[in-house]
Amino acid sequence: MKILTVVIPCYNSAAYMDHAIESALTGNEDVDIIIVNDGSSDDTSVIADEYKKKYPHLIQVVHKENGGHGDAI
C-alpha cells in the first residue's frame, strides 16, 4: 500500500526535473509520483516519459495544455 502521492507540476522545467524526481524516488515503493507536464516546450516531456519507462510501477505522467500551476495541480 502506498502511503504518499507526490505531484510534480512541470512547465519548461527540464533543467531541474531530475533533482525533483530523484528526491521523490527516495520514498521507494511507498510513494506514487505523478508528473504533470503543463504544456512545456523544452525537453520536460521527454524527461518525464523516460522516468515513466524506468519506473512504471511508481511514476505516472500526464501531458496537458498549459493551464498554469493551479490547473496542473
pLDDT in tens, the chain (73 residues): 889 999 999 999 999 999 999 999 999 999 999 999 999 999 999 999 999 999 999 999 999 999 998 898 8
Is the four-CA dihedral 1, 62, 59, 34 of positive or negative sign? negative
Distances (CA, A) of 8 to 25, 43: 12, 15
The whole-number pLDDT of residue 10 equals 96
Q: What is the pLDDT of residue 73?
A: 86
pLDDT of residue 1: 80
Give residue 14's pLDDT. Answer: 97
In Å, how far are 15, 23, 63, 65, 68 from 32, measured between CA atoms?
22, 13, 17, 23, 22
Write the burial class of residue 4 (CB in 10 Å: 0-12 exposed, 13-18 middle, 19+ buried): exposed
Q: State residue 69's pLDDT score.
A: 86
